[in-house]
């Protein structure tokens, strides 16, 4: 178990970052007990868990596919070139920040593991990061969040579990196809939680139009919450468009998000920002 870590706080922050519903529980693997995070709505036995563990100097997050997760592994093996590129960039970004990442497909961990043509029977993703021996609770939690977020990013990049999608299909990262058709009975366009997470990691959780911060205003209930706006509507991108989360996406509060969409095409965020600033400048003092 990840001693001293509030797993529910970590779960809520990850849900806010990715907009993917998660639940936590204790899980026994090879005789050891782990805190585990799982996507809500995926049938137990056919999905996956992110296992969390801590030593006195390191925090670790590992992907564990369930015993009957063959469909999940097949989906991961059929990831698009854009998804594989996003996976590789996510790994490179994590490693550049000092995080250790180990990935192996069917035991292969060379540069060509994502192009393995054999059926994917075993996928290993392990992310770990050290913290100082005298690290306080805030440092340890920040390390845990970074490690769990990196591991979840890598998994979601290949698995394609999308915002609000409750069934198995269709540090920062960019380049997932936005609006790609999911593998479901009807054609459906989904936003990428990995793109959302990359956008928030870059810009933070403060509205880029008015400066509103949900944590500042609402306290713990607002921690981790922000909406992410597509500067060009998803409906106009096309299924093969590859989104750059740092240029195509921007965090907005709910009010500003509603305001930019009151026009067609949406009002540019910098125009709305100027409007907000001008309104603040002429606002009369409170009585």
DSSP string, 236-255: GT-TT-B--HHHHEEEE-HH
CA distance 245 to 81: 17
Of how many residues is the chain composed?
A: 287
Predicted confidence (pLDDT) at residue 170 exceeds the cutoff of 60: no
Tell which wins on pLDDT, 189 or 121: 121
pLDDT in tens, 207-247: 999 999 999 999 988 988 999 999 988 778 777 777 888 89
Asked if residues 63 and 158 have their Cβ atoms less than 8 Å apart, the reply is no
Question: Please, is 234 exposed, middle or buried when counting C-beta atoms within 10 Å of its C-beta (0-12, 13-18, 19+)?
Answer: middle
Contact of 153 with 90, CB cutoff 8 Å: yes
Q: Which residue did the predictor score with more confidence, 155 or 283?
A: 155
The answer to whether residues 251 and 207 touch, using CB atoms and an 8 Å cutoff, is: yes
Task: Quote the CA–CA distance of 142 and 18 in Å, as a whole number.
Answer: 16
Placement of tokens 């591991």 in the chain:
151
Average pLDDT value for the chain: 84
Check residue 244 and give its pLDDT: 84
Q: Judge contact between 11 and 21, C-beta under 8 A.
A: no
Question: Do 123 and 116 contact (CB within 8 A), yes or no?
Answer: no
In angstroms, the CA 97 to CA 44 distance is: 34
Tokens 């990428």 correspond to what residue? 192
Q: What is the pLDDT of residues 249-277, one digit of tens each?
A: 999 999 999 999 999 999 999 999 999 99
pLDDT of residue 144: 94
Q: Are 131 and 168 in contact (CB under 8 A)?
A: no
Cα–Cα distance measured from residue 263 to residue 260, given in angstroms and rounded to the nearest whole number? 6
């Amino acid at each position: 178990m990840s001693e001293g870590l509030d797993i529910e706080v970590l779960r809520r922050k990850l849900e806010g970052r990715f907009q993917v519903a998660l639940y936590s529980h204790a899980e026994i693997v090879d005789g050891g007990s782990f805190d585990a995070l799982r996507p809500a709505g995926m049938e137990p036995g056919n999905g996956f868990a992110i296992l969390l563990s801590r030593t006195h100097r390191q925090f670790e997050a590992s992907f564990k596919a369930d015993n009957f997760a063959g469909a999940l592994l097949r989906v991961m093996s059929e990831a698009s070139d854009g998804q594989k590129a996003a996976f590789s960039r996510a790994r490179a970004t994590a490693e550049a920040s000092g995080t250790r990442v180990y990935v192996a497909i069917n035991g292969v961990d060379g540069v060509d593991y994502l192009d393995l043509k054999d059926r994917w029977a075993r996928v290993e993703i392990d992310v770990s990061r050290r913290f100082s021996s005298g690290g306080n609770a805030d440092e340890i939690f920040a390390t845990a969040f970074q490690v769990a977020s990196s591991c979840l990013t890598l998994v979601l990049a290949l698995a394609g579990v999308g915002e609000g999608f409750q069934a198995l299909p269709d540090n920062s990262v960019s380049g997932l196809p936005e609006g790609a058709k999911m593998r479901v009975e009807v054609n459906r366009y989904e936003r990428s939680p990995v793109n959302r997470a990359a956008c928030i990691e870059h810009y933070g959780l403060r509205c880029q139009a008015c400066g509103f911060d949900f944590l500042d205003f609402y306290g713990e209930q607002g921690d981790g919450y922000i909406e992410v706006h597509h500067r060009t509507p998803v409906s106009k991108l096309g299924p093969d468009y590859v989104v750059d989360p740092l240029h195509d996406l921007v965090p907005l509060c709910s009010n500003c998000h509603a305001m930019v969409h009151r026009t067609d095409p949406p009002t540019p965020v910098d125009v709305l920002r100027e409007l907000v600033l001008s309104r603040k400048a002429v606002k009369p003092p409170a009585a």
